[in-house]
Structure 1
Amino acid sequence: MKGYWHIPAISVLFSAFTVIFDSIVFSIVLLLWLLYLNVTRRLGKIPLTLSLTAFLFFTVYFPPIEIVSSPFEPLEMSITGQIITPISNSEKVIQFNVREDKTNQLIKIIYFKQNENESDFFDVQLGASCHLSGEVSLPVGNTNPGQFNYQKYLAANGIQYEMKINSSQDMICQGKASKTFLYSLRENLKNYITEAYSDKTSAWINALVLGDDSQIPEETTEHFQSWGLSHILAISGLHIGLVVGFYYFLTFRLSVLTKEKAQLLIFIFLPIYAVLAGGEPSVWRATLMVLFVVIIQKIKIRFSVTDIISITFLILLLLDKYLIYHVGFQFSFLVSFGIILSRKWIGKDQSLFMQLVRLSFVSQMIIVPLQLMYFYAFNPLSILLNVFVVPYFSFFVIPFMFILFIISPIPFVATSLDWLFTMIHQYLFLLPLEVVNQLAYFPWWTGSLPAILVVLYYGLYLMMMYFVQKGVHRLAFFYGILVTLVLFFVAFRPYISPYGTVTMLDIGQGDAFVIELPYRKGVLIVDAGSGFTFETMEPSKTNYTRIIKPFLQYKGIREIDGIVISHEDIDHAGSVNYLLEDFDVNTIIISEYYQIEEGTEKKWQRNGTDILRLKAGNSFELSGSTFTILSPWVDKKGTNENSLVIFTELGNKSWLFTGDIDKDVEREIIRNYPNLKVEVLKIAHHGSNTSSDPFYISAINPTYALISVGENNRYGHPSNEIISLLEKENIHVFRTDLEGAIIYQFTEDTGTFYRFKP
Structure 2
Amino acid sequence: MWTMMVDASSGLLLTSLWLLRIWRLHLHHFCWLNVLSLVIPLAVGWQAQQTVQHQTRQILQQVERTQTFELYAFPDQVVNTKTSLRGIGELANHQRVFFHGRPLKNQASLQTTKRVQLQVTGTLSLPQAASNWGAFDSLGYARSQGISGDLQISDVSRVQPVPTASLTGMIHQWRAWGLAQATPMPKQLRSYVQSLLFGDRTAEFRESSTGIKKLNLIHLFSLAGLHVYVLLNLWMWVATLLHFRKEASECGAMLLLPLYCGVAGGAIGLLRATLAVEQRYWFKLGKLKRSGLDYWAITLMICLLLNPWDIGQLGFQLSFLLSFTMYYCRDAGNLKKTMILNLVGLPLLLYYFYEWHWLSLVANLIFVPLFTGILFSLILLNYAWQLVFKSTIWGTETVLQWFSQITNWLATAPGSLALGQPPGWIVLLSIILLLLLMEWWSWKQVLCLGGLVGLTVLLIHFPLTGEISFFDVGQGDSIMLREPLNRSVTLIDTGGKPNFFAKQGQPTVHLAPTTTIPYLKSRGISRIDNICLSHQDADHVGDLTSFLAKFKVKRVIIPWGMNRNQHFMRKIKPYLNQTQLLSVKAGQTIPATRLQVLHPFRPGLGENQDSMVLYGQFAGQKFLFTGDLPQNEEHDLLKHYPQLRVDVLKLGHHGSKTSSADAFIQAIAPRVGIVSAGRHNRYGHPNQETLLTMQRHHVRLFNTQTMGMIRYRYGGLLRQPEFKTKWKETRHGNQSDN
TM superposition score normalised by structure 1: 0.85
Q: Compute the displacement of 1:715 (Å).
A: 2.1
One of 140, 144, 156 as aligned partner of 2:132: 144
Q: Map of 1:523-672 to 2, 5 A cutoff?
A: 523-533=489-499, 536=502, 540-595=508-563, 597=566, 598-606=569-577, 608-622=578-592, 625-636=593-604, 639-672=607-640
**Alignment pair present for 1:306 and 2:293:** yes
Query: Given the superposition, is the C-alpha separation of residues 130 and 730 from structure 1 closer, same or farther in structure 2, using an over 3 Å criterion?
Result: closer
Task: Give the unaligned 5+ runs of structure 1.
Answer: 1-17, 347-354, 469-474
Residue of structure 2 in register with 1:316 after alignment = 303
Residue of structure 1 in register with 2:282 after alignment = 295
Q: Compute the displacement of 1:496 (Å).
A: 4.5
Separation in 1 of the partners of 2:242 and 2:637?
91
Q: Compute the displacement of 1:458 (Å).
A: 2.9
Separation in 1 of the partners of 2:536 and 2:168?
55
**Alignment pair present for 1:426 and 2:392:** no
Letter in 1 for 2:173: S
Residue of structure 2 in register with 1:384 after alignment = 362
The worse-fitting range, judged by mean Cα deviation, of 89-98 and 495-504 is: 89-98
Query: Given the superposition, is the C-alpha separation of residues 549 and 51 from structure 1 closer, same or farther in structure 2, using an over 3 Å criterion?
Result: same
Alpha-carbon contact 1:357-1:384 (below 8 Å) kept: no
**CA deviation string 1:515-564 (max 9, x = no partner):** 11122222110011211249947785342122111222233322211110
Letter in 1 for 2:78: S
**CA deviation string 1:47-93 (max 9, x = no partner):** 33312332343344334877869976324567889879964344342
**Alignment pair present for 1:464 and 2:437:** yes
Alpha-carbon contact 2:89-2:98 (below 8 Å) kept: yes
Separation in 2 of the partners of 1:109 and 1:207?
21
Separation in 2 of the partners of 1:217 and 1:170?
29
Query: Given the superposition, is the C-alpha separation of residues 542 and 435 from structure 1 closer, same or farther in structure 2, using an over 3 Å criterion?
Result: closer
Q: Map of 1:21-32 to 2, 5 A cutoff?
A: 22-32=7-17
Q: Map of 1:182-581 to 2, 5 A cutoff?
A: 182-195=171-184, 197-214=185-202, 216-252=204-240, 254-344=241-331, 346=332, 355-408=333-386, 411=389, 415=392, 417-419=393-395, 421-427=396-402, 429-447=403-421, 449-468=422-441, 475=442, 477-533=443-499, 536=502, 540-581=508-549
**CA deviation string 1:687-733 (max 9, x = no partner):** 22332233333222222222222223222323333222222222222
Query: Given the superposition, is the C-alpha separation of residues 111 and 425 from structure 1 closer, same or farther in structure 2, using an over 3 Å criterion?
Result: closer
Alpha-carbon contact 1:224-1:230 (below 8 Å) kept: yes
Q: Compute the displacement of 1:339 (Å).
A: 0.9
Q: Secondary structure at the match of 2:469?
A: strand
Separation in 2 of the partners of 1:709 and 1:153?
26
Separation in 2 of the partners of 1:691 and 1:99?
44
Task: Give the unaligned 5+ runs of structure 2.
Answer: 729-738
Residue of structure 1 in register with 2:735 after alignment = none
Letter in 2 for 1:445: L
Query: Given the superposition, is the C-alpha separation of residues 732 and 334 from structure 1 closer, same or farther in structure 2, using an over 3 Å criterion?
Result: same
Q: Secondary structure at the match of 1:146?
A: coil
Q: Compute the displacement of 1:222 (Å).
A: 3.3
**CA deviation string 1:492-518 (max 9, x = no partner):** 314453221111112122111111112
Alpha-carbon contact 2:140-2:312 (below 8 Å) kept: no
The worse-fitting range, judged by mean Cα deviation, of 318-327 and 677-686 is: 318-327
Query: Given the superposition, is the C-alpha separation of residues 728 and 113 from structure 1 closer, same or farther in structure 2, using an over 3 Å criterion?
Result: closer
Alpha-carbon contact 1:654-1:678 (below 8 Å) kept: yes
TM superposition score normalised by structure 2: 0.87
Separation in 2 of the partners of 1:171 and 1:410?
31
Q: Map of 1:659-698 to 2, 5 A cutoff?
A: 659-698=627-666
Q: Compute the displacement of 1:655 (Å).
A: 1.4
Alpha-carbon contact 1:107-1:163 (below 8 Å) kept: no
Letter in 1 for 2:181: Y
Q: Compute the displacement of 1:108 (Å).
A: 1.0
Q: Secondary structure at the match of 1:585?
A: strand
Residue of structure 2 in register with 1:106 after alignment = 95
Letter in 1 for 2:655: G
Alpha-carbon contact 1:532-1:539 (below 8 Å) kept: no
Alpha-carbon contact 1:604-1:610 (below 8 Å) kept: no
**Alignment pair present for 1:48 and 2:18:** no
Q: Compute the displacement of 1:755 (Å).
A: 2.9
Letter in 2 for 1:237: G
Separation in 2 of the partners of 1:134 and 1:391?
49
One of 711, 714, 719 as aligned partner of 1:743: 711
Letter in 1 for 2:657: N
Query: Given the superposition, is the C-alpha separation of residues 683 and 334 from structure 1 closer, same or farther in structure 2, using an over 3 Å criterion?
Result: same
Alpha-carbon contact 2:75-2:112 (below 8 Å) kept: no
Letter in 2 for 1:514: M
Alpha-carbon contact 1:532-1:540 (below 8 Å) kept: no
